[in-house]
Amino acid sequence: MSTTLITGGTVVSATGRAAADVLIDGETIRAVLEPGSHLLGTDVAASVDRVVDATGKYVIPGGIDAHTHMQLPFGGTEASDTFETGTRAAAHGGTTSIIDFAVQTYGQRIEDGLAAWHEKAAGNCAIDYAFHQIVGDVNEASLATLRKLPDEGITSFKMFMAYPGVFYSDDAQILKAMQVSRDTGMLTMMHAENGPAIDVLAQQLVDAGNTDPYYHGIARAWEMEEEATHRAIMLAKLTGAPLYVVHVSAKQAVEQLAWARDKGQNVFGETCPQYLYLSLEDQLGASGPEWGSFEGAKWVCSTPLRSRAEGHQHSMWQALRTNDLQMVSTDHCPFCMKDQKELGLGDFRKIPNGIGSIEHRMDLMYQGVVTGEITLERWVELTSTTPARMFGLYGRKGVIQPGADADIVVYDPNGHTSIGLGKTHHMNMDYSAWEGYEIDGKVDTVLSRGKVIVDGDEYLGAKGDGRFLKRGLSQYLI
């Protein structure tokens, strides 16, 4: 087995930073050593197979993106990144594990939906991957199957209070699934928006001739997110289910989460880079030379981008600092403008919902360190350590310590990253939602289970490097 020493860097964890060398033996971390130290009387640097020079750089646990949708059939098309292209882009951006959503569609058995997802991913991933289960059809059979999923390493499931006729579950169905969550310890993940009410507002907007992407954000008012978040919290309280609310974008939804947490309820929340940086005014309402007032389709996602004037973005950063929100995932769900987003020309309801960000999450969150929104340690915590703990991967992932998988990113705070299509992102998209964003930092080297898969801008990994991760129960629950 080959050995690697990452030397000269500052190892950053969720709780601190220190100058240290990291010794890797095969796929795992063997030791975290004092800089330049000698192990058992030998000069470590002289005896290893490879030395990675991290002088002046940060050495952090590889990013874990706990919310991705590779190849998701949605909105009459399919998310444009395959497991191959999406995980390769993730690797370039310093993410070394993803948790994707296996889908059970209406009328389908969970077993079949899950098997199909394994088939899509197996042998195709650049980095390790795990699954949550989307439950799109709550019935007696699917509830029985759900109970058995922890045996297969799937310890969380997602339900939708939005998208009637697609993934939607009503309160009765949610209640029943949450009872399974309570009994098994599986985490209930919730898309919290009042879908039926949103659909009425959307229909009325279209009837009045308001068909541009901007109105996607008007129809999906923050009141619809606040209300659904509250309802999910109360159903979780009633049943005793642990609850994790995905892609939180409204400050009022955060207030609901904080309120429940302050009462001691096991309620958690994530936000995504788009809700920290982008807005209803600047992006959803954008006009451009190529697409005119349809430009905003690039940023149609749900929950939607929120008004900057109302201060949601500011509240999301604040909640990340105060731990009212615990994690940042991407909700990576890319669609091209051509032939995909275009489906919604003349009717915003037909624009496939989703934004691609998997490659930029670590950078975009690092920029929050640069601008003073979060600390360096919090950056690691939000993007790696908490995702690992939340979803039962901690120890193996999310930490640099002996025995952990050697998933490590060397990050250069003196580097610079210009994001955008012209700067060749690796996601399978014909535009970038992040065109023009400048990051004062750069992913330098990425190791996945001890193998250098990204060196500078060069990809050294291979399709199939990534393995399926069986997860344990959330390590946030007693």
User: Residues in the site for ligand URP, rule: CB under 6 A?
Assistant: 69, 191, 247, 301-302, 331, 333, 353-354
| Cα 149 to Cα 136, 145, 187, 190, 261, distances in angstroms | 15, 7, 12, 18, 27
Q: Find the part of the chain contacting Zn ion (CB under 5 A) among 137-145, 185-193, 402-410, 423-431.
A: 185-193
Whichever of 21 and 331 has its CB closer to Zn ion, that residue is: 331
3 state DSSP class of 2 = coil
Q: How far is the CB of 246 from ligand URP (least distance, A)?
A: 6
**Residue 59, H or E segment:** strand 58-61
Whichever of 281 and 440 has its CB closer to Zn ion, that residue is: 440
Whichever of 9 and 304 has its CB closer to ligand URP, that residue is: 304
Decide if 294 contacts 347 (C-beta within 8 A). Answer: no
Q: How far is the CB of 69 from ligand URP (least distance, A)?
A: 5
| Residue 110: half-sphere exposure toward Cβ, Cα within 13 Å | 24
Whichever of 18 and 166 has its CB closer to ligand URP, that residue is: 166
**Residue 378, H or E segment:** helix 376-380
Q: Find the part of the chain contacting Zn ion (CB under 5 A) among 70-78, 134-142, 293-301, 437-445.
A: 437-445
Pick from 440, 420, 446: which is nearest to 432 by CA? 420
354: partner contacted, choices ligand URP, Zn ion, none (Cβ within 5-8 A by kind): ligand URP
Q: How far is the CB of 158 from Zn ion (least distance, A)?
A: 7
From residue 140 to residue 179, the character string flagging contacts with Zn ion as x (rule: CB under 5 A) and all else as - is ----------------------------------------
SS in 3 state form for 405-468?
ECCEEEEECCCCEECCHHHCCCCCCCCCCCCCCEECCEEEEEEECCEEEEECCEECCCCCCCCE
Task: Please state the φ and ψ torsions of residue 267, each to the nearest 5 degrees.
Answer: -130, 135
Is the bond leading into 303 cis (omega within 30 degrees of zero)? yes
301: partner contacted, choices Zn ion, ligand URP, none (Cβ within 5-8 A by kind): ligand URP
Q: What is the C-alpha separation between 15 and 346, in angstroms, rounded? A: 50
191 is an interface residue for Zn ion by CB under 5 A = yes
For residue 252, count CB atoms less than 10 angstroms from its CB and return exposed for 0-12, middle for 13-18, buried for 19 or more: middle
Q: Find the part of the chain contacting Zn ion (CB under 5 A) among 32-40, 203-211, 229-237, 436-444.
A: 436-444
Task: Please state the φ and ψ torsions of residue 217, each to the nearest 5 degrees.
Answer: -75, -30
Q: How far is the CB of 186 from ligand URP (least distance, A)?
A: 18
Whichever of 247 and 451 has its CB closer to ligand URP, that residue is: 247
Q: Which residue has the tokens 């500011």?
A: 314
Amino acid at 393: L
- Taking CB under 5 A as the criterion, the residue among 440, 452, 459, 463 binding Zn ion is 440
Q: How far is the CB of 353 from ligand URP (least distance, A)?
A: 3
353: partner contacted, choices ligand URP, Zn ion, none (Cβ within 5-8 A by kind): ligand URP
Whichever of 191 and 312 has its CB closer to Zn ion, that residue is: 191
| Contact set for Zn ion, span 313-372 (CB under 5 A) | 331
Whichever of 159 and 319 has its CB closer to Zn ion, that residue is: 159
Residues that bind Zn ion (CB under 5 A): 191, 331, 440
